[in-house]
Amino acid sequence: MFEEARHDVWVYARKMWEANLVVASAGNVSCRAGAQHIAITPSSIPYETLQEEEIVIVDLASGNAVDSLHKPSYELPMHLSIYRSMPDVQGVVHTHAPYVTALSVLRKPLPPIIDEMMIYFGGTVEVAEYAFTGTDAVGTHVVRALGDRSGAMLANHGNVCIGRSLQKAMHVAITMESCAQVYLEALKIGEPVTLPLEAISAGRRMFEERR
């Protein structure tokens, strides 16, 4: 009964790795698997060898793995916090993409400097307060930093991207890395100019229609 969710997580985990948003077994991907479960990448299995059947199914209420070969990702508490507090979210992607992670180390939010950032992120990508990897506090801080947008950075760590499908969450992750690169390159030369207010409002309307 969980085949479709396992397949989707496997496909997008491989995409994340192939897009160089993570290396080895870093980062993680999850999606809802029915009303009471989520499917999530396992802990410490390299993407290169990851098989569909190794994706872990977790009971959303208890946080316990069911019917699975491996332990769930170490960052499971963060995924659980998001699904429990945001009923519309269907997919979550957590990356250590290099440019995004550089910004997270600087603890510098990513402001809207390109139209598509408003359309896909819904506003400034904020940096969540620091918490040690794998703790419940990561989830609490991330939910707060996400607010009503589709992505946030984790201080000194990486980012988390959400969507009403796993495909949308992955699109946010890939777009955010390219925007973070532009922002950091521009910062080397001068002070990037944020979008005019009209563009911010128009982009936000499109974000709300499309997400």
Catalytic residue among 18, 53, 54, 75: 75
Bridge partners, residue 92, by sequence? 30, 162
Closest to 44 measured CA to CA, from 8, 12, 11, 69: 69
**129 in active site:** no
Structure tokens that stand for 10 in this block: 């496997």
Q: What residues are labeled active site?
A: 75
